[in-house]
Chains A and B, each alone.
Chain A
């Protein structure tokens, strides 16, 4: 059990989290020039990623007159709260409805999708049955197919069963995560010992109970990763709702904001709403990342001690 070898799945997130402390001692041995240039490259990229967010934050605090007339990277009069008030009251609060929809699609979709992916991956890792590798390989193939390419076929299928323009037309396709199955399988085969499952069986637990009470706990770090990926993927998914939905009350926030943005030329006030709406729409993602990242790291270290 303690001889667990790192596998591609868990190692990848681990490396990302630990890159800062892990790279420090090694860097000291390298020459200062290499270290400085590495820092510069990282600094530049940090700036590159953060400046647009900064711009968005600053822009969202300005009223319309100051938006064009003042320095785009520094604050003018602080009217963020008036802006938010105007946004949420526009068209009877349709923006809040969109945020709620996004939370439903992404939260529920990622939860159910993670359970399905976890069960699939676990079954592929722990049960031996004919065609197992074939199934796994096809799932792996699924990782390579971009979701965008499937949107139109999905639309035509859903049209046949009259499910377009419904909650289900966006929710059901969101449950599928080939990458999640892949990750869950790799992780389950590395972290869930066969002996433990045997022990559970000897104690009289059924397969389903074994999975939920024993195996899931050991797979938590992988499942959290899958959940995060899936949550972000569904939250940012744009093309599928664009094709499927026509009823504004079903829109996720991405599609709603895109729709507004496409009319900025003729309805200039929408521009303010798009900016503030975009700022607010990334807050849930940041929160869920911060919350789950800690959990994710704890899970990883707990798993490695065992």
Chain B
């Protein structure tokens, strides 16, 4: 027993050292130059946490006996699957395909974990099939590179309690200034216009995105981090004012309190993404039929800008022996009406493909929203999302650091802009620690 333990320990140490070496040698070996079809039957593995993916894949497997895809699953990305991907890349047994959210893609790119699919048949041509900004999320602004195929998107709009606005004779805000005015009136009735989320930093990022800001830039070699640019500062100051004047509630998101605030009509609006439609419907069941969706308030009257919250892609990992087949499958999965309909039904995915926006399921009225065809609003929003927003390579860390500060801010122990400044410093430190070239 004892000796075995020692032997295992030694083996462990040795294998860590070995895999360390082998990982670094293989990573530069497989160039993106060729993407040739394999001969014979090909088996692919695909790790995803999207429920119902099996059904979509079953359709593919039936039609493509020579390219069989096996679905593997796990918790959502930040819940452990990303870390598993990194471990598997290190051990050399990563799946062929993986689910990766847009905000995590740069992390995998920096770690050299993705196969450039540009050489694979049909991939560059597929650019026209996707909503423009989603393509920007997967090629990182490089013209002849494609690191993943966009799957779904989270264009943002404003969910609001149509009945309450009407009963209290408050106009639906179309600008953020009107939103503040409405917030004051709503507060006078005892309610809150919305809830400011202390931990959904990607929601805040969506608001910055809408305002035209971006937190990261990459000039090809160096990263620039700018969590505190003037646009972000403007958005932060706006919400800080609402928090300071107690015009927004600050329940922790996705909790009972939070659901309850919506269910009892205490919170009136939610600036959220297309996939959020179901979150309200399930969290606030007593309010069925009373909600509606409008375009996001704008910074200047007449503007047409939207933010994005969430969305993910299908990537092919370095080390896959069948990038051609994997790319072919990923394109089908994310553009075919059949697959997109299934995924929308089972997981509320809102497609990134242009054709997906015209699915019958996304054209129908939704009872919970008084029969409004709410996805028309999101479809329009998706076309108004700026293609310039770039995610950083250490977003999990950035989110955590900013979120710590936001939690302090909602309890009046700090400010949002302070939190972003802290996040800025911590992000640069984290990137430096990982030897990611960054402008300080």
Taking beta carbons and an 8 Å cutoff, which residues of A are in contact with B? 64-65, 67-69, 72, 91, 116, 120, 131, 134-136, 138-139, 142, 150, 152-157, 159-160, 162, 164-165, 176, 181, 242-243, 245-248, 255, 258-259, 261-271
Distance, CA A116 to CA B74, complexed state (A):
32
Distance, CA A152 to CA B83, complexed state (A):
11
Please provide the 9 A-B residue pairs with the shortest distance between their CB atoms, ordered closest to farther.
Answer: A268-B282, A135-B2, A159-B91, A262-B79, A246-B72, A153-B12, A262-B76, A262-B75, A65-B285
> Are B73 and A266 within 8 A (Cβ)?
no
Contacting residues, chain B, for A165 (C-beta < 8 A): 72
> Are A267 and B348 within 8 A (Cβ)?
yes
The interface size of chain B toward A, counting residues with CB under 8 Å, comes to 48
Known: A68-B256, A263-B51, A263-B76. A243 touches B87 (CB 8 A): yes
Max chain A C-beta neighbours (<10 A), residue from B51, B79, B90, B254? B51
> Are B84 and A159 within 8 A (Cβ)?
no
Contacting residues, chain A, for B88 (C-beta < 8 A): 159
Contacting residues, chain B, for A116 (C-beta < 8 A): 1
Q: In the complex, which residues 283-324 of chain B have their Cβ closer than 8 Å to any Cβ of chain A?
A: 283-286
Q: Could you write out 16 A-B pairs with CB less than 8 Å apart?
A: A68-B263, A72-B256, A116-B1, A134-B2, A136-B2, A153-B15, A156-B91, A157-B12, A160-B91, A242-B75, A243-B80, A262-B76, A262-B78, A262-B79, A264-B254, A266-B347
B6: Cβ under 8 A from any A Cβ: yes
What is the distance, in angstroms, from A5's C-beta to the closest C-beta of chain B?
A: 27
B424: Cβ under 8 A from any A Cβ: no
B378: Cβ under 8 A from any A Cβ: no
Distance, CA A131 to CA B282, complexed state (A):
63
Q: Who on chain B is nearest to A271 by CB?
A: B282
Distance, CA A245 to CA B87, complexed state (A):
12
What is the distance, in angstroms, from B10's C-beta to the closest C-beta of chain A?
A: 11
Contacting residues, chain A, for B95 (C-beta < 8 A): 246
Q: Knowing that A68-B259, A139-B1, A246-B84 are A-B contacts, what are 11 other residue pairs whose CB atoms are under 8 Å apart, sorted by A's residue number?
A: A64-B282, A65-B285, A69-B285, A156-B90, A157-B15, A159-B88, A164-B93, A243-B84, A262-B78, A266-B279, A266-B347
Contacting residues, chain A, for B19 (C-beta < 8 A): 156, 159-160
What is the distance, in angstroms, from A199's C-beta to the closest C-beta of chain B?
A: 27
Contacting residues, chain B, for A164 (C-beta < 8 A): 91, 93
> Are B47 and A259 within 8 A (Cβ)?
no
Distance, CA A107 to CA B1, complexed state (A):
21
> Are B254 and A159 within 8 A (Cβ)?
no
Contacting residues, chain B, for A259 (C-beta < 8 A): 49, 73-76, 79
B260: Cβ under 8 A from any A Cβ: yes
What is the distance, in angstroms, from B56's C-beta to the closest C-beta of chain A?
A: 14
> Are A156 and B12 within 8 A (Cβ)?
yes
Q: Who on chain B is nearest to A269 by CB?
A: B282
Distance, CA A72 to CA B259, complexed state (A):
13
Known: A262-B79, A266-B348. A138 touches B6 (CB 8 A): yes
Q: Who on chain B is nearest to A150 by CB?
A: B12
> Are B1 and A268 within 8 A (Cβ)?
no
Q: Who on chain A is nearest to B73 by CB?
A: A248
What is the distance, in angstroms, from A87's C-beta to the closest C-beta of chain B?
A: 14
> Are A69 and B1 within 8 A (Cβ)?
no
Q: Who on chain A is nearest to B273 by CB?
A: A266
Contacting residues, chain A, for B429 (C-beta < 8 A): none
Contacting residues, chain A, for B263 (C-beta < 8 A): 68-69
Known: A138-B2, A259-B79. A160 touches B15 (CB 8 A): yes
Contacting residues, chain A, for B279 (C-beta < 8 A): 265-266, 268
Contacting residues, chain A, for B76 (C-beta < 8 A): 259, 262-263
Distance, CA A152 to CA B84, complexed state (A):
10
Contacting residues, chain A, for B130 (C-beta < 8 A): none
Q: In the complex, which residues 117-154 of chain B have their Cβ closer than 8 Å to any Cβ of chain A?
A: none
What is the distance, in angstroms, from A54's C-beta to the closest C-beta of chain B?
A: 15
Distance, CA A153 to CA B90, complexed state (A):
12
Contact of B347 among A64, A135, A248, A267 (CB under 8 A): A267
Distance, CA A205 to CA B204, complexed state (A):
74
Contacting residues, chain B, for A156 (C-beta < 8 A): 12, 15-16, 19, 87, 90-91
Q: In the complex, which residues 264-286 of chain B have their Cβ closer than 8 Å to any Cβ of chain A?
A: 275, 278-279, 281-286
Q: Who on chain A is nearest to B254 by CB?
A: A265
> Are B286 and A69 within 8 A (Cβ)?
yes
Distance, CA A268 to CA B284, complexed state (A):
11
What is the distance, in angstroms, from B129's C-beta to the closest C-beta of chain A?
A: 24
> Are B15 and A64 within 8 A (Cβ)?
no
Contacting residues, chain B, for A245 (C-beta < 8 A): 74
> Are B1 and A135 within 8 A (Cβ)?
yes
Distance, CA A255 to CA B74, complexed state (A):
8
Contact of A246 among B1, B47, B78 (CB under 8 A): B47
> Are B84 and A157 within 8 A (Cβ)?
no
> Are B12 and A258 within 8 A (Cβ)?
no
Q: In the complex, which residues 12-40 of chain B have their Cβ closer than 8 Å to any Cβ of chain A?
A: 12, 15-16, 18-19
Distance, CA A262 to CA B78, complexed state (A):
9
B11: Cβ under 8 A from any A Cβ: yes
Distance, CA A72 to CA B91, complexed state (A):
46
Contacting residues, chain A, for B433 (C-beta < 8 A): none
Max chain B C-beta neighbours (<10 A), residue from A68, A156, A270? A68
Distance, CA A21 to CA B59, complexed state (A):
65
Known: A68-B259, A138-B2, A156-B15. A247 touches B49 (CB 8 A): no
What is the distance, in angstroms, from B102's C-beta to the closest C-beta of chain A?
A: 15
Distance, CA A153 to CA B1, complexed state (A):
19
> Are A242 and B282 within 8 A (Cβ)?
no
Contacting residues, chain B, for A262 (C-beta < 8 A): 49, 75-76, 78-80
Q: Who on chain A is nearest to B256 by CB?
A: A68
B5: Cβ under 8 A from any A Cβ: yes
Distance, CA A264 to CA B283, complexed state (A):
11
Distance, CA A268 to CA B12, complexed state (A):
41
Distance, CA A238 to CA B254, complexed state (A):
23
> Are A266 and B275 within 8 A (Cβ)?
yes
B212: Cβ under 8 A from any A Cβ: no
Q: Who on chain A is nearest to B19 by CB?
A: A156
What is the distance, in angstroms, from A206's C-beta to the closest C-beta of chain B?
A: 21
Q: Who on chain A is nearest to B50 by CB?
A: A263
B92: Cβ under 8 A from any A Cβ: yes
Distance, CA A245 to CA B47, complexed state (A):
11
Q: Who on chain A is nearest to B20 by CB?
A: A156
